[in-house]
A and B are shown apart, each in its own frame.
Chain A
Amino acid sequence: MKYLVSFRNAFYSTIAYRGNFVLRLVTVSLQIGVAVFMWQAVFRFSGKGDIAGIDPLQMTYYLIIVNLLSLIFSTSLIFKFSQLVRSGNLTILLLRPVKLLVQAFFEYVGLSFPYLIIYGFVLVVSSETSSQSFTEILMTLALFAIIYITFFLLISAMSLVSFWLIQVWPMRPVINALFMLLGGQAFPLQVLPQTFRWLEYTPFALAGNQLALLSLGKVSSVQMLLVFLASISWSLVFLILIKELWRKGIHAYEGVGS
């Protein structure tokens, strides 16, 4: 129950700052527009009807979904944690009878909840272009939940570098760029040569590229299984990393300002 309070507070903070909420939707629309117009130009000047099995309409839906996913898979946790370490306010949280990782997860879900609703709406609209059965839709949702946890663990592990770094803002454009490239925000990874196809199983690709293709019904059962195994494996790696980084980081933490 105590963690539900964290979820509720985070959810309210997203919708309470309506200006932020609307501006984020505006900036994502801007990113979608840039990618869609760029790809329309590529389709037009390449003279091809489809690229890597994706036609122009599917590419548009793909780009809308993958950019919405970038809102759901937020990295704000890294900067929030950095602020807590820098100000020394982490000490207050350490004294509370809560598991910080669980609390952070509920907060993470709360922050992205409004975007999850929008994502669900877009899925319903885009489902007209795919021919997924009810079982496949359920499997897509189950994979979404697993990948969501994997990505949260990745962000949690990344946030722990705040114990050693004073400024983490230089990471922001790089994370955005990684999501753009590896997450398939600029283009589906399927357009890359076969040599680079392993990139489809990196955490950013699972959260962006694979989930967007899953939503369009463009992933086979074998690939679904691979995505599932990759996600579980990454989760284990990040859990070990979090444990180790926390153990070392908490010793480096000075609690200045608390």
Chain B
Amino acid sequence: MIRLYRTLIKQSFEETFAYRGTTILTIVFGILFYAIVILTGSVYFSFAKDIFGWDFTDYLNLVTTANVMTYLYEFLFVQSQEALTSQILEGTLDYSLIRPVNTYWFHVLYRVDFPSLIPLILTVGIEWVIIARIRLSFSQILLYVLIVMLGTLFIFCLNQIAVTATFWIDGLSALAGLPEYIMDASTRPAKIYPKVIQVLFLWILPSLTVTNIPVSLRYRTSFRAVIWLAVVDACLLIASKFEWQRGLEQYVSAN
């Protein structure tokens, strides 16, 4: 499987350089998007220096962390998921189904999006500066890295579940965009929301936990939230694999 993944990465790399125009635009647009989000935050904090105990550095930490997770997700999975939707709809999964590989992981790791690597490196660099400025300890940095990985897995699972739903639902394109909207809504301090929404997105579908916990490391460490996030990730991953197995039973080949 590792040799196969290396081959798939090599193919992705070659594709990246074959479509140079698209690559450059992906990089430019990725950086532009991040800049716009920061600019929006600077407008909020130009009117109030402190919002629910958060200052602009916390906001910067929040959006940068959220973007690190998003770009890491895009780098590892987004191209595979884009391809999977069309393969399910067009009935062209056969080529992978007959191969002696785990089809779930084959389709999950089918392509790597190299252009996303540039904004990812940029945001990791900025986050590095933020972490140095807020003086996190070594153990807090390790915990931060763990949360980023769990957060990336969380974003992947949400998107994978939405994409795999294509086996049953044809034409519900808005569903694929729903995880993106949920994560976008989560790049705000959790406390701005009413209690019901906070409980829903901190504990039931912990998208606010994913983005807010790394920032709160500056003030306190919530191991309970991190463990809960790991449990939710495990459940979502199992649900996603189960959905894939059931989905394959629905699959209609076009060959």
Contact = CB atoms under 8 A, between A and B. Distances in A.
Interface residues of A, number: 38
Contact of B52 (A26, A45, A177, A191): A45
B48 A45 contact: yes
Contacts, number: 103
B101 interface: no
Contacts of B184: 31, 34
Contacts of A164: 21
A163 B50 CA distance: 48
Interface in A156-179: 164-167, 169-171, 173-174, 177-178
Contact of A37 (B37, B48, B82, B193): B193
A181 B175 CA distance: 24
Contacts of B48: 41-42, 44-46
Given A34-B185, A167-B22, A23 B192 contact: no
Contacts of A30: 181-182, 185
Contacts of A37: 188, 192-194
Interface stretch (B28-36, B138-146, B240-248): B28-36
Contact of A23 (B26, B51, B175, B194): B175
Contacts of A186: 40, 43
A101 B67 CA distance: 37
Nearest to A47: B48
Nearest to A171: B29
B1 interface: no
Contact of B36 (A34, A48, A178): A178
Name A's interface SS: helix
Interface in B131-174: 169, 171-174
Nearest to A189: B43
Give the residue among B33, B39, B189, B191 with the most A Cβ atoms within 10 A.
B33
A61 to B, nearest CB: 19
A170 B47 contact: no
Contacts of B171: 17, 19-20
A9 B83 CA distance: 28
A41 B43 CA distance: 13
Contacts of A31: 181, 184-185
A68 interface: no
A170 B192 contact: no
Contacts of B115: 170
A181 B185 CA distance: 15
A192 interface: yes
B188 to A, nearest CB: 6
A27 B182 CA distance: 8
Contacts of B172: 17, 19-20, 23
A174 B175 CA distance: 20
Contact of A38 (B22, B25, B30, B44): B44
13 contacts: A19-B174, A20-B171, A34-B185, A38-B44, A41-B51, A42-B44, A45-B52, A51-B47, A165-B21, A166-B22, A170-B25, A171-B25, A177-B33
